[in-house]
Structure 1
Amino acid sequence: MVRGAVTIILGLDPSLSCTGWGVIRAEGSRLSHIANGQIATDPAAPMPARLDMLYAAVAAVIAAHGPDCAACEEVFVNKNPQSTLKLAQARGAVLAACGGAQLDVREHAARLVKKAVVGTGAADKAQVQAMLRVLLPGVAVAGADATDALAVAIADAHLGHHRQIP
């Protein structure tokens, strides 16, 4: 549900070890930070417990901040098939939490996120972090994964997928 010209966007950077999340408010071209964080899972825990933790934590973020929509980084294929499978399972838990809240979820490739935020799809992490400080001045970011999640939300806002047409 979009609140007129204001949209609350949940950005997600899924990972089994540490999922980043960030919530922003987009009003036209103006962006403001609402919250961000990281969800770390216990590597010693069984896979079902780790996935349940991700699901529950993302569901709690959604309940706390009431986003209108979500944006998630697309899965990429690693050289290690086991890593790709674990990432896909983590994404499944995160997307299931969004589905449970009936959120519209847009998926964006990492290169598209970088291009939308920095201006080039070949941007490195330092360039993304620097642009994030410009776009959301004074924001204390929980860590690298939260930075990536905020970048996904910002890219989604810049791409305009959730704006209403008058």
Structure 2
Amino acid sequence: MRVLGIDPGLTRCGVGVVEGDVGRPLRLVDVNVIRTSAGVPVATRLVTIEAGIAEWLEEYRPDAVAVERVFARSDVSTVMGTAQASGLALVAAAKRGLPVALHTPSEVKAAVSGNGRADKTQVGLMVARILRLPAPPSPADAADAVALAITHIWRGGAQSRLAAAAEAAQSSRAGDARVAAARKAGRR
């Protein structure tokens, strides 16, 4: 499974692609940050972010996209910029028919470090350890994007397999019911 993790932000939007499966070593494909300048109009900054995300989707062709779920902070302008960048990521993935998962910051921290309250340094160090990198991806937004991709592979991949198994079981039960009904109708 190949996952594009996106840590949305208006100034720095982290993007990272990780490849692998649950129970197997993961591999970092690429990581970077899409940057915009605070001196540029917001609409222009959003166009830059959307174009950057589209480039990553086209170049790396992920199987899924994992985006950090926006949560309320004290600074409304930060929340707004993050939400706008997050919306762009969701739309870009949806346009390409890719499944999208939202993961909370504490879920990501717990997945990669075992501690839902881990700080950015701890998350970066664990990302480096998990992927066998000499150093954490930098800046922290890049490491966070990679952590999102890791989380999705470990948690989202397992969740999608469970959902597929449940759907198959339900389909099998429906088929069994049709066969039983056909048998019963044949006896009349």
TM-score by length of 2: 0.79
Following TM superposition, where does structure 1 have runs of at least 4 consecutive aligned residues deviating by more than 6 angstroms?
none
2:117 to 116, 119, 122: 122
Alignment pair present for 1:43 and 2:38: yes
Which structure has the greater CA radius of gyration?
2
Whole-angstrom CA distance in 1 between matches of 2:160 and 2:144:
20
Show CA shifts across 1:47-95 (max 9, x none): 1111111111000001000000010110011112222122111111222
Aligned partner letter, 2:106: R
| Structure 1 residue 139, shift from structure 2 partner | 5.8
1:77 to 58, 69, 72: 72
More strand by share: 1
Alignment pair present for 1:29 and 2:23: yes
CA RMSD of superposed structures (Å): 1.7
For 1:15-26, list aligned pairs within 5 A.
15-26=9-20
Whole-angstrom CA distance in 1 between matches of 2:15 and 2:159:
19
State the match for 1:134 in structure 2. 129
The number of residues matched between the two structures is: 160
State the match for 1:3 in structure 2. none
Higher relative contact order (CA 8 A, sep 6+): 1
Gaps of 5+ in 1: 1-6
SS in 2 for 1:24: strand
Instruction: Identify if the C-alpha distance between structure 1 residues 125 and 142 changes in structure 2 by more than 3 Å, giving closer, same or farther.
Output: closer
Instruction: Identify if the C-alpha distance between structure 1 residues 27 and 45 changes in structure 2 by more than 3 Å, giving closer, same or farther.
Output: same
SS in 2 for 1:27: coil
SS in 1 for 2:3: strand
Mapped contact 2:3–2:65 kept (Cα < 8 A): yes
Aligned partner letter, 2:141: D
Sequence identity (%): 34
SS in 1 for 2:50: helix
TM-score by length of 1: 0.89
For 1:149-160, list aligned pairs within 5 A.
149-159=145-155, 160=158
State the match for 1:4 in structure 2. none
| Structure 1 residue 158, shift from structure 2 partner | 1.3
| Structure 1 residue 115, shift from structure 2 partner | 0.5
Show CA shifts across 1:86-136 (max 9, x none): 211111122221122221110011001011111110111111111111111
More helix by share: 2
Gaps of 5+ in 2: 169-188
Alignment pair present for 1:59 and 2:54: yes
Mapped contact 2:22–2:154 kept (Cα < 8 A): no
